[in-house]
Structure 1
C-alpha cells in the first residue's frame, strides 16, 4: 500500500508540466517586451551622454585656444593683429603648445572641411613667420597637423563681439582682437542649437607695449596698437 501511495505522489502530471511551461513562457514574453521597450531608451541616453561629453571636450579645447589668442601683426608694416574670423572658420596667432612644440608662436586655423562627404570641424596649425607685405593668408599659410574636433551632424559657427558687446558674423581687418567669441553648436538636420554652446573670452586686445607703465602706443608709428580706436578701446590690454 505504501508503494502505491508513493507512485501516486511522485513527480508531476502532464497537465501540471504544461501549465508550468505556459506560465514560464508568459513570464519570459513579458520580460522580453519590457526589455525591448527599455533598452533602446537606455542606448539613446548613453549615446546622448557620450555625445555631450565629446562636444563639451571639443568646445573646451576651442575656448582655451581662443582665450590665448595674441595680438601679433602679420609683419612689421601692419598695424592690425593677424586675425581672420568668419561664421564658419577662424585664424589667429597663439603661443605654441604641444609635446613637440618649442618656444614661439603658432598660427591656428579652426574651421570646417569635408571628410567622406561629411562636414567636420578641424583644428590645424603652422609655425608663425612674418608674412610678405600685400600677401593674403591663404597664399602664405600652409596648415598641418589636423585634428578633428567635431563631426556631423553637428556644425560649429562663430560670432564676434568687441567692447560694445554687439555680435557680428565676421571679424576682419580690425584694429584689435574681439573681446568675446560665441561658439554655437547646431544639429545640421534640425538646425536646433544645442545647450552646450558657449562664449569664449579673449584675454588680450592690444599689443603688450600698451600695457607697460612707460609704454606710449601713440608715439610709435609702427606699433600695431597706435591707431586711435584700438588704443582707446583697449587700454589695460586684458579683461
Structure 2
C-alpha cells in the first residue's frame, strides 16, 4: 500500500506537493469515488484517476546504476543540475526514481525503479539492508574511534546503529586512510557525518555494495537491469533478514 499522493507523483502526473493539492481540491478519484484525504493509501489493484484521466500502470523495472560524482540523486533539480534519471532518458521509457540517495559528491551503487513498495523495502531502516562504503579520509582513525563507529556514534539527529568498520590501508606520511564501513541506515550524509564526529573527515566516498549487489562490470555512469532473481532475493532478504 502506498499513499495516494506518492502514487500520483511516481506516475509522473505532478510533484508530490501538487498531487496533495489536487487531492484536497477533489480532482482525484479512487475506484470511481472522489478522495480528499491525504492519508489515503492505495494498492496496485486500485484504479486512480486525476482530472478524469486514469493513471496507467507501468511494468515494474529495476536498475543498478554506477552513479558518478557530481550528479543529483533525484528525478528533477530546480538548480538545473544533472540528475541520475538523466542518465536513463534515452533508453528507459518508464518513470523511474532513485531508491534512497547518494550525495552529489558521492559515487557508487544506486538502485532506480518505478516500484514504490520495493523502494520502501530497500530504504526503510527496519529491514536492515546493508550498504557498504569505501571512505578515503583525512587523518588516521584510532582503534578507539573505529570502535565508536562500530558501536554507534551520537549525531545531532540521534545515535547511529552499530556498523561494521575496518581500516584497509593508511599512510602516516600523507596522513590519510581508507576505511570500509557497512551501515543499514540512510540518514542524510550519514557516513560523512560519522567520520566528521571522530575527527577524520571524508575526502572521497563511494558506495561499493548494497546487500549482495556490487558494481562488477560497470564503469561510472553505466547501469544494468536487475535480474528477476536478484529482485526476488532482495525482497526475501528485506522480509526475512536472510537468504539461503
TM bin, normalised by shorter chain, reads: under 0.3
Q: TM-score, normalised by structure 1?
A: 0.20
Q: TM-score, normalised by structure 2?
A: 0.20
Higher-helix-fraction structure:
1
Larger Rg: 1
